[in-house]
């Protein structure tokens, strides 16, 4: 069962990342830098370094709760000429005469359940975190795929976070004027009244020059400050 303490620690780390991105966005040259920084924050203290149980080839092993690029339990595929993930529990699916073999995805960061005793490759993820930097597609396919991985019922995720960050100084004036308002509107429209209660989304532009430069979904969600 997911503890309030675990949620507060994750959200405090997200708050720290948010503040650093606003203060110094080029601290993070790439999306991988964001992953590393957040992993570093979560690794501090004892909570996510506590022993978690697991099995490897049927033998008990010990690990920690915090992992990067940890595999999903469910499998997914992408239909022809589309980028959107589709959950699929069968061994394969046929689309337009072509067979697709679904495969497991991975979470950017995952916190596994410390009390599970499954094969280490099939542990339950209690908290999943996905990050994106400067993903400007109006269709929001990257964000939607992250959302699909987190909410697919096979994966049993108890809380998921999607951090969608935009560094404005990388963009042309035209993109700032036209693309960003479109992204914001599409984001709100995509999840208005439809957001899974387990999911929290942070959309953030740096520099934060207007109210819509930061969007929290659900709107009542406020990142923990303790």
Q: Is 105 within 8 Å of 149 (Cβ atoms)?
A: yes
CA gap 15, 23 in Å, rounded: 12
Average pLDDT over residues 184-197: 94
- Distance of alpha carbon 19 from its chain centroid, rounded? 18
Residue 35 has pLDDT above 80, yes or no: yes
Secondary structure element (H or E) that encloses residue 206, with its range: strand 199-206
DSSP structural state of residue 119: B
CA gap 84, 79 in Å, rounded: 8
pTM summary value: 0.92
Structural tokens at position 179: 């693309």
Give the tens place of pLDDT for each residue, 84-108. 787 865 556 666 677 767 889 999 9
The pLDDT of residue 79 is 73
Structural tokens at position 81: 């000429």
Give the tens place of pLDDT for each residue, 10-22. 999 999 999 999 9
């Amino acid at each position: 069962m997911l503890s309030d303490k675990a949620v507060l620690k994750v959200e405090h780390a997200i708050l720290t990342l948010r503040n650093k991105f606003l203060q110094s966005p080029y601290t993070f040259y790439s999306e991988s830098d964001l992953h590393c920084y957040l992993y570093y924050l979560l690794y501090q203290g004892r909570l996510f370094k506590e022993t978690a149980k697991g099995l490897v080839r049927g033998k008990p092993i010990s690990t920690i709760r915090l992992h990067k690029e940890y595999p999903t339990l469910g499998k997914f595929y992408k239909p022809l000429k589309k980028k959107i993930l589709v959950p699929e529990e069968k061994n394969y699916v046929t689309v337009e005469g072509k067979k697709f073999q679904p495969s497991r995805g991975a979470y950017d960061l995952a916190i596994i359940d410390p009390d599970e005793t499954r094969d280490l490759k099939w542990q339950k993820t209690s908290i999943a975190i996905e990050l994106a930097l400067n993903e400007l597609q109006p269709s929001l396919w990257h964000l939607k795929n992250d959302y699909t991985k987190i909410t697919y019922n096979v994966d049993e995720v108890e809380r998921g976070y999607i951090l969608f960050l935009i560094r404005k100084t990388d963009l042309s004036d035209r993109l700032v004027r036209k693309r960003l308002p479109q992204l914001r509107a599409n984001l709100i429209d995509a999840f208005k009244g439809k957001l899974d209660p387990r999911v929290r989304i942070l959309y953030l532009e740096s520099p934060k020059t207007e109210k819509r430069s930061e969007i929290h979904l659900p709107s009542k969600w406020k990142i923990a400050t303790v």
